[in-house]
Structure 1
Amino acid sequence: MITPDIFCVEDDPDYAFILEHAVKEVKNELTLGVVVDGMSAIEQLNNFVVTKQRPKLILLDLNLPGLSGLDVLKKIKETPFLKYVPVILFSTSDNPKDVKASYEFGANAFVTKPSGYTNLVDCVKSLHDFWFNQNKNIN
């Protein structure tokens, strides 16, 4: 996988497909890399470290098969090379316990997945505007 601008861990292939289209609609040059479970995410994160390339943003589903999103988040924040990559928990959950746990493990934000394509595009526009244009990071 070429290092994407946005690395997404999403186990629903239909949602990943729709997300890819929403990302392209926001900015055609943006690249999105998707893996479908926590173990694949860890493997790809290790590849980023080995190749010394990192995504600009990570979208991480909370409820994944195998390793949970929180397990993956913990690994990201424990890896010095990836520690400062912004990680957004992007989940259907809006349970306050999930939100709190995500922040305790080092998430930069928690966003409940919007319903409907137009709302998803608006959400991706907001994420892009903040994390790619307004936010100052050290990567």
Structure 2
Amino acid sequence: MKTPDIFYVEDDPDYVFFMENAVQEVGDNLILTVAADGQEAIRSLRKFVEEHTIPKLILLDLNLPNISGLDILRFIREIPAMKTVPVLLFSTSDSPKDVRASIEFGANAYVTKPDGYDKLLQCVDSVQKFWFNHHLHVN
């Protein structure tokens, strides 16, 4: 398994489709790996650790079936090899309660999902520029 640049946990297949296209348009060399729900995300995270293929960035939907985004965030922050991986909560919710909980659980940022492909493309471009070009990484 190649090390993903971005690990995206999202249960909406339409949004996954648009995200895949946006990521390719922003950086055709970026590797995006997707999990469709919390259980698949947990399995993938364990596999990343086993195979030493830790993602460089995790985008995490807040509202997932079965296992919430906050529960996955808590799981990520308990894995020593992933403590410094940037995790961005990426949700349709703009509730201050959700934002506060995400930061308290260890998210590096909270981003409200943009409406429309052009705004998603701008968002992905901004995320890519900041987290891959300007942010100092801890290894």
**TM-score band w.r.t. shorter chain:** over 0.9
Counterpart residue number, 2:7 = 7
Query: Whole-Å Cα distance in 1 between the matches of residues 60 and 29 of structure 2?
Result: 21
The one-letter code matched in structure 2 to 1:99 is V
Identity of aligned residues (%): 61
Q: Is 1:107–2:107 an aligned residue pair?
A: yes
Structure-to-structure mapping, 1:7-86, within 5 angstroms:
7-86=7-86
SS at match of 2:97: helix
- TM-score, structure 2 normalization: 0.98
SS at match of 1:39: helix
For these two proteins, the number of residue pairs brought into alignment is 139
- TM-score, structure 1 normalization: 0.98
- Deviations, residues 72-101 of structure 1 (Å, cap 9, x unaligned): 000000100111100000000000000000
Counterpart residue number, 1:116 = 116
CA RMSD of aligned residues (A): 0.7
SS at match of 2:81: coil
The one-letter code matched in structure 1 to 2:54 is R
Query: Whole-Å Cα distance in 1 between the matches of residues 3 and 33 of structure 2?
Result: 8
Query: Whole-Å Cα distance in 2 between the matches of residues 32 and 55 of structure 1?
Result: 9
Moved >4 Å (runs of 4+): none
Structure 1 residue 2: deviation in Å? 3.2
SS at match of 1:128: helix
